[in-house]
Amino acid sequence: MTSRDESARKDRSNLSSSLPSGTTIDATRSRRVPLNLCGRTGEPQELHLRTVNGLKLTPQRLNNEVLASCHHLTDLRHHLKTSYASPKILIGQDNWHLLVTEEMRTGRRDQPVASRTPLGWVLHGAHPGGRRQRVNFVAHATTVDTNMDEALKHYFAIEGLTVAAKTPKNDPDERALKILRDSTQQRPDSRYETALLWREENSKIPNNFEALNRLTSVEKKLEKDPNLKERYRQHMNALVAKGYAEVASSTGTKDRTWYLPHFGVTHPMKPEKIRIVHDAAAKTRGKSLNDFLLTGPDLLQSLPGVMMRFR
């Protein structure tokens, strides 16, 4: 990141930066500043800077005695600034093209190296007679542009407090959901109807005409209880009257006809009320109607998940 001391007046934003010295700068009024920078030689270079209040880089000075001892830098002395000064601009990797070395002058291993960049000559490397202790600097810079108001709105957004429907994760669930979307329609009585969720488009269903034996058993039971028989008959007629069922034709569709067994169930506490159960789990040749149908996608959230989010 390229930074500069606060000295201009442009758009503001938040900035957090860690300098090589270990100092962290949190600038809440940092500005974006365009700047044309030019070395002693070369053409002006356009930069886009972020300002900070007090860059606090270590002051630097080029010792004339050291420079005189470096014969490989003799013809470059007039290009190098020797006065004591603190850096005011820190050029980062976002402007790497200004840091690329185009030419290099090297001497002994314990002498500084001069590199020519688009901004001019830069001196770096070893300092004769300096300390031999190795110092490693690691810089980490972070730019924060997130508006605090927007962050709070996102945190308290209503979608974070509601329960969203699950999205199908596999092909059977996607197929079932497609059938529901394509076939579900509203009836004139404001109720809804939809197609069966067939596992395959042209499923061949085995002939289960032996379900007639189940019907015979139910009829024998009803003959023994005329009151139960009448309530059973009323319930079946109501299914047809409401459009939930219809009288079947004498001939069914080949390989697509399934005789669905049914039986009545009563509750000991409410013996006058009967509930008709249609047994889709009854098997014929090892197969039931449920085996040919999809269970459909589970669009409900688990109760533990709902309770964990309800705080």
Q: What is the pLDDT of residues 76-107, one digit of tens each?
A: 877 776 677 778 888 888 888 888 888 888 88
Dmax over Cα atoms in the chain, in whole Å? 124
pTM value is: 0.41
Does 123 lie in the same domain as 48? yes
Is 159 inside a domain boundary?
Answer: no
If you average pLDDT over residues 176-193, what whole number do you get? 89
CA distance 172 to 293: 10
Q: Residue 286: which domain range?
A: 171-309
Does 17 lie in the same domain as 126? yes
More confident: 40 or 103: 103
CA distance 166 to 306: 13
Nearest Cα residue to 7 out of 67, 37, 49, 57: 49
Q: What average pLDDT is seen over the chain?
A: 78
Does 210 lie in the same domain as 128? no
Sorted by sequence, the CB contacts under 8 Å of residue 38 that are 6+ apart come out as: 44, 45, 119
Question: Which of 65-69, 203-207, 249-253 shows the lowest per-residue confidence on average (mean pLDDT)?
Answer: 249-253
Does 222 lie in the same domain as 262? yes
Q: Which pLDDT tens digit goes with each residue over 219-244?
A: 999 999 999 999 999 999 999 998 88
CA distance 302 to 191: 28
Structural domains of the chain, count: 2
Is 163 inside a domain boundary?
Answer: no
Nearest Cα residue to 126 out of 113, 137, 114, 116: 113
- Tokens matching residue 299: 């669009």
More confident: 174 or 43: 174
Query: HSE on the CB side for 60, CA within 13 Å?
Result: 13
Does 123 lie in the same domain as 21? yes
Q: Any idea which residue has 């930066």 for tokens?
A: 17
- Tokens matching residue 239: 């299914």
Is 160 inside a domain boundary?
Answer: no
Is 117 inside a domain boundary?
Answer: yes
